[in-house]
């Protein structure tokens, strides 16, 4: 398994400070926190140190070359889309994988990067279980589903897919850095990055590493329940603080689509207007709602492109609406290509004949 190398550390002092050896000046006082630390020049251990003033000013901090390295590696990528969620289990990876499938089916060249280091599900959702990553003289090669869709995940590097990845933050961040600087994506219309839930070290590192890369923005996934939306509001706050544009909020599991008759029924009333209401209050776009459909779950389990295979379903039509919105908001095409749009039009016609109405389902379209 690829892993990042970690710096050796100086012994901790009685104050509990520990800093990488390379960041501690040779004439530093005992317990020096290091020039890269947030309290450099300001901690009790810094009192009387001849380097205190320069450390406190920040002049001694080294410039991180990673953003430049990432920008160089991703120079042929037109736009990067982050898929975020404050809560686990809301369908973030479902949205990521089907977004990648649908954009690729529209004729775009797409990369899907899974940075959920401890819970990689993208290999299964793309039907790529058991694949491995190959390394060349110029970097890691993604696993290509076809010519238009490449995938990278730590899941391809595990000897056993059930192996636990028990890593602390620095090691996870090191692998994310390798993914961004070492993977040979080539020319892409979209690079979709599937992130872990919450606002963890991985998210902070991504924001730092990608600050010179062509990030179009973030897609934030929620479900209608208040317990999910309360965490998603924190994710929107993270986007504001890191100056990451929000391309749209996606409300997943907005109703239940019956696999027999196709009717969408609202099981739980959305709290405070659901995802649409939350997006309106936050002043960000609403990309649309996707109903809960057992066929979509089955497609994710088997690695199937749901929109193409099940176009005559409410979930596929809703998902296509979401993808159109995201693509347009990211600066891409507003349609999904002639062939896929024709398939969707036929599916919509068949759906209209089969399902005359829905019961309490929230609108699938974006806010006007």
The answer to whether 302 is annotated as binding is no
What Cα–Cα distance (Å) separates residue 143 from each residue in 63, 74, 110, 220? 33, 17, 12, 26
The answer to whether 90 is annotated as binding is yes
The answer to whether 87 is annotated as binding is yes
The answer to whether 42 is annotated as binding is no
Backbone angles phi, psi at 312, to 5 degrees: -90, 40
Helix (H) or strand (E) holding 191: strand 190-194
Strands 246-257, 286-292: pairing is parallel
The answer to whether 347 is annotated as binding is no
CB 249 within 8 A of CB 289: no
The answer to whether 14 is annotated as binding is no
Strands 143-146, 149-153: pairing is antiparallel
CA distance 362 to 191: 30
The answer to whether 88 is annotated as binding is yes
First CA to last CA across the chain, in angstroms? 47
Tokens 């309290």 appear where? 39
The answer to whether 258 is annotated as binding is yes
Q: How many CA atoms lie within 13 A of 178 on its CB side?
A: 20
Burial tier of 206 (Cβ tally within 10 Å: 0-12, 13-18, 19+): buried
Tokens 């024709």 appear where? 342
The answer to whether 55 is annotated as binding is yes
The answer to whether 261 is annotated as binding is yes
Burial 235-265, CB ≥16 within 10 A → b, else e: bbebbeebebebbbbbbbbbbbbbeeebbbe
Burial tier of 141 (Cβ tally within 10 Å: 0-12, 13-18, 19+): middle
Beta strands of 117-167 (E only): which ranges?
134-136, 139-141, 143-146, 149-153
CA distance 268 to 232: 18
The answer to whether 46 is annotated as binding is yes
Name the binding residues for [4Fe-4S] cluster: 32, 46, 49, 55, 258, 261
Name the binding residues: 32, 46, 49, 55, 86-93, 258, 261
Name the binding residues for ATP: 86-93
């Amino acid at each position: 398994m690829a892993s990042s190398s970690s710096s050796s550390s100086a012994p901790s002092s009685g104050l509990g400070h520990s800093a990488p050896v390379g960041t501690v000046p040779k004439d530093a006082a005992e317990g020096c926190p290091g020039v890269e630390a947030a309290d450099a020049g300001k901690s009790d251990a810094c009192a009387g140190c001849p380097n205190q003033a320069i450390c406190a000013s920040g002049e001694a901090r080294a410039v991180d070359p990673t953003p430049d390295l990432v920008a160089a590696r991703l120079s042929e990528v037109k736009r990067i889309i982050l898929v975020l969620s404050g809560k686990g289990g809301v369908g973030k990876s479902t949205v990521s994988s089907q977004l990648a499938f649908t954009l690729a089916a529209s004729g775009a060249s797409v990369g899907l990067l899974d940075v959920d280091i401890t819970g990689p599900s993208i290999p299964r959702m793309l039907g790529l279980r058991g694949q491995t990553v190959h390394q060349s003289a110029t970097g890691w090669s993604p696993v290509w589903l076809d010519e238009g869709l490449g995938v990278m995940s730590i899941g391809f590097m595990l000897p056993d897919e059930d192996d636990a990845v028990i890593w602390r933050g620095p090691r996870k961040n090191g692998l994310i850095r390798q993914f961004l600087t070492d993977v040979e994506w080539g020319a892409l219309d979209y690079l979709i990055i599937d992130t872990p839930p919450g606002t963890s070290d991985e998210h902070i590192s991504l924001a730092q590493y990608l600050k010179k890369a062509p990030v179009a923005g973030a897609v934030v996934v929620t479900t209608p329940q208040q317990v999910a939306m309360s965490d998603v509001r924190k994710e929107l706050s993270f986007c504001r603080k890191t100056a990451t544009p929000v391309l749209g909020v996606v409300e997943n599991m907005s109703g239940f689509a019956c696999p027999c008759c196709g009717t969408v029924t609202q099981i739980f009333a959305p709290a405070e207007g659901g995802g649409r209401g939350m997006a309106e209050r936050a002043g960000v776009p609403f990309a649309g709602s996707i109903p809960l459909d057992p066929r979509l779950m089955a497609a994710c389990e088997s690695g199937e492109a749901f929109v193409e295979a099940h176009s005559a379903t409410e979930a596929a039509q809703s998902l296509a609406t979401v993808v159109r919105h995201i693509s347009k908001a990211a600066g891409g095409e507003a349609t999904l290509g002639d062939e896929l749009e024709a398939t969707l039009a036929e599916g919509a016609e068949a759906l209209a004949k089969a399902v005359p109405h829905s019961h309490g389902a929230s609108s699938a379209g974006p806010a006007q």
